[in-house]
């Protein structure tokens, strides 16, 4: 039973009715294509609406979860109690000299394209990361040659009570898949990236090279959440998993990718439980074989059935 259904009436004072969905399947909002229903899913159209929803949830003591495009998210089969606030409509982007100021719901690939268009270098690494700016800042996303910490100047966030804060690079406390956003439960609203003038063709060639490498090495043809595990100190998760003979190992329709062992994929009909059971099996095997603990990079939320 959806105990928060009546709360949707409160939200109609903030959002348009079409931006409020009841019992919304989360498989439609994650790149893994799995997950039970959220009691309420809302898509604010601007920052003021997003802040008002957060404040309303706090006043009514309704739990809420922030998501972008769900590319690093695994929702359990029982779904999510409370409100999911999806920020993908907050995607405004502007260029000010060598800076790009962008809202949290914008896709990293679009920021990369804009940087190329303006001959700004430094953001090439993010061209193939299938996430939004908010999630990238939260996790200090990185790939190949760089990470968010190397290009961010500041971020505008909102705390759990709805107060807006402007944090500089140091205040963001960016580390490996870690930040002050996670530490203090902030929500990213906007980020400013400081880039440098570069040569258009050089930037374009770098993006094309990174795109080729990604297409060659990653199982992009299947639903996944990217790299499933964080990189353990001194090791590579994918190599440890492959050395355990787990490449291609599956539970239900969840599989350790034959193309890249660091990825768990959904071959089509996997449940969240299949994926979670496979994650556990991989963690147990690697720990038993090498004494190394693997921690998930993917964010896991929601309830079991």
pLDDT at 77 over 90: yes
| Chain segment 139-159, per-residue pLDDT in tens | 999 888 899 999 999 999 999
Q: What is the DSSP string of 55-112?
A: HHHHHTT--EEEESS-TTEEE-TTBEEEEEEE-TT---EEEETTEEEEETTSBHHHHH
CATH topology of domain 7-86: 3.30.43
Residue 149, exposed/middle/buried by CB under 10 A (0-12, 13-18, 19+)?
middle
* Residue % of the chain over a pLDDT of 70: 100
| Chain segment 163-216, per-residue pLDDT in tens | 999 999 999 999 988 999 999 999 999 999 999 999 999 999 999 999 999 999
Antiparallel, parallel or unpaired: β 80-86 and 37-42: parallel
Nearest alpha-carbon partner for 33 in 186, 256, 223 = 223
Check if CATH label 3.40.50.720 holds for domain 219-301. Answer: no
Question: Does the predicted model carry a pTM greater than 0.75?
Answer: yes
Specify whether the CB–CB gap between 14 and 56 falls below 8 A.
yes
**Residue 179 half-sphere exposure, CB side, CA atoms within 13 Å?**
28
Determine the Cα–Cα distance for residues 300 and 297; give it in Å rounded to an integer: 9
Question: Residue 206's pLDDT is what?
Answer: 95
Question: Residue 177's pLDDT is what?
Answer: 87
Nearest alpha-carbon partner for 144 in 212, 232, 76 = 212
Residue listed under structure tokens 């930040």: 179
Domain residue spans in the chain? 7-86, 93-203, 219-301
| Chain segment 82-91, per-residue pLDDT in tens | 999 999 999 9
Check if CATH label 3.90.320.10 holds for domain 93-203. Answer: no
What is residue 128's three-state secondary structure?
helix
Determine the Cα–Cα distance for residues 246 and 282; give it in Å rounded to an integer: 7
pLDDT at 234 over 70: yes
pLDDT at 7 over 80: yes
If residue 212 lies in a helix (H) or strand (E), which one and from where to where?
A: helix 200-217
Going by pLDDT thresholds of 50, 70 and 90, the confidence category of residue 104 is very high
Nearest alpha-carbon partner for 280 in 254, 248, 243 = 254
Going by pLDDT thresholds of 50, 70 and 90, the confidence category of residue 1 is low
Antiparallel, parallel or unpaired: β 120-121 and 196-197: antiparallel
Catalytic residues: 177, 227, 297
Backbone angles phi, psi at 281, to 5 degrees: -60, -40
* Mean confidence (pLDDT) of the chain: 95
């Amino acid at each position: 039973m959806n105990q928060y259904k009546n709360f949707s009436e409160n939200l109609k004072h903030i959002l348009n009715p079409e931006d409020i969905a009841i019992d919304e399947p989360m498989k439609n909002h994650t790149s893994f294509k799995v997950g039970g229903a959220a009691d309420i899913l809302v898509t604010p159209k601007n920052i003021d609406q997003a802040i008002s929803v957060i404040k309303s949830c706090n006043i009514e003591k309704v739990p809420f979860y922030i998501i972008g495009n769900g590319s690093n998210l695994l929702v359990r089969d029982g779904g999510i109690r409370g409100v999911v606030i999806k920020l993908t409509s907050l995607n405004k982007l502007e260029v000010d000299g060598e800076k790009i100021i962008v809202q949290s719901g914008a896709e990293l690939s679009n920021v990369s394209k804009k940087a190329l268009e303006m001959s700004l270098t430094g953001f090439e690494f993010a061209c193939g990361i299938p996430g939004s700016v908010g999630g990238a800042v939260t996790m200090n996303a990185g790939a190949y040659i760089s990470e968010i910490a190397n290009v961010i100047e500041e971020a505008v966030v909102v705390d759990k009570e709805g107060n807006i804060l402007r944090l500089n690079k140091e205040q963001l406390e960016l580390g490996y898949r870690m930040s002050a956003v996670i530490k203090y439960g902030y929500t990213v609203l906007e980020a400013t990236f400081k880039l440098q003038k570069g040569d258009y063709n050089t930037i374009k060639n770098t993006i094309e090279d990174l795109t080729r490498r990604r297409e060659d090495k990653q199982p992009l043809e299947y639903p996944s959440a990217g790299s499933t595990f964080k990189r353990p100190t001194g090791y590579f998760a994918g190599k440890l998993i492959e050395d355990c003979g787990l490449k291609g190992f599956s539970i239900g329709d969840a599989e350790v990718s034959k193309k890249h062992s660091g990825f768990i994929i959904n071959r089509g009909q996997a449940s969240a439980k299949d994926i979670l059971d496979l994650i556990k099996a991989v963690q147990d095997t690697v720990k038993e074989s090498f004494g190394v603990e693997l921690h998930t990079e993917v964010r896991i939320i929601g309830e079991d059935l």
